[in-house]
Chain A
Amino acid sequence: MSKVSLTVNGKAVSVDVEDRTLLSSVLRESLGLTGTHIGCDTSQCGCCTVHVDGRVVKSCTMLAVQAEGSDVMTIEGLAPSHDASGATLHPVQQAFSECHALQCGFCTPGMIMAVAGLLKDTPDPDDQQIIHGLEGNMCRCTGYVNIVKAVKQAAVTMRA
Chain B
Amino acid sequence: MYEFTYIRPGSLPEAAALLASNEGAKPLSGGMTLIPTLKQRLSQPSHLVDITALAALKGIAVVDGRLEIGAATRHIEVATSSVVRQSLPALAALAAGIGDPQVRNRGTMGGSVANNDPAADYPSAVLALGATVHTDRRAIAAEDFFQGMFATALEPGELIVRISFPLAERAAYAKFPHPASGYAMTGVFIAVVGGAVRVAVTGAGPGVFRWTQAETALQARFESAAIADLEVDATDLNADIHAPAAYRANLVRVMALRALETILTSSKGQ
Contact = CB atoms under 8 A, between A and B. Distances in A.
Interface stretch (B31-39, B146-154, B223-231): B31-39
A42 interface: yes
B102 A49 contact: yes
Interface stretch (A29-37, A52-60, A90-98, A147-155): A52-60
Interface in A37-67: 41-44, 46, 49, 55-58, 60-63, 65-66
A62 B35 contact: yes
Contacts of A107: none
B180 A19 contact: no
Contacts of A56: 101-102, 105
Contact of A136 (B38, B39, B102): B102
Nearest to A17: B6
Contacts, number: 74
Contacts of A44: 180-181
Interface in A116-160: 117-118, 133, 135-138
B1 A20 contact: yes
B86 interface: no
Contacts of B181: 44
Contacts of B143: none
Contacts of B31: 61-63, 66
Nearest to B107: A61
Contacts of A57: 102, 105-106
A19 B32 contact: no
Contacts of B99: 135-136
A46 B2 contact: no
A27 interface: no
B48 interface: yes
Nearest to B80: A121
Nearest to B33: A43
Counting chain B CB atoms within 10 Å of each CB, the highest count among A42, A58, A114 belongs to A58
B206 interface: no
Contacts of B48: 19, 63
Contacts of B102: 46, 49, 56-58, 61, 114, 136
Interface residues of A, number: 29
A58 B1 CA distance: 17
Nearest to A43: B36
Contact of B50 (A58, A66, A136): A66
A20 B1 CA distance: 7
B72 to A, nearest CB: 13
A44 B103 CA distance: 9
Contacts of B182: 135
A18 interface: yes
Given A19-B4, A20-B1, A42 B36 contact: yes
Contact of B105 (A41, A55, A63, A66): A55
B100 A136 contact: yes
A42 B178 CA distance: 15
A19 B101 contact: no
Interface in B30-61: 31-32, 35-36, 38-40, 48, 50
B50 to A, nearest CB: 7
6 contacts: A19-B6, A22-B35, A46-B102, A49-B102, A61-B32, A135-B100
Q: Nearest 8 pairs between A and B by C-beta?
A: A136-B100, A19-B6, A135-B100, A136-B102, A20-B1, A55-B105, A58-B102, A43-B36
Given A20-B2, A61-B35, 7 more contacts: A20-B1, A41-B39, A49-B102, A57-B106, A58-B102, A63-B31, A65-B6
Interface of B: 1-6, 8, 28, 31-32, 35-36, 38-40, 48, 50, 76, 99-103, 105-106, 180-182
Interface of A: 2, 18-20, 22, 41-44, 46, 49, 55-58, 60-63, 65-66, 114, 117-118, 133, 135-138
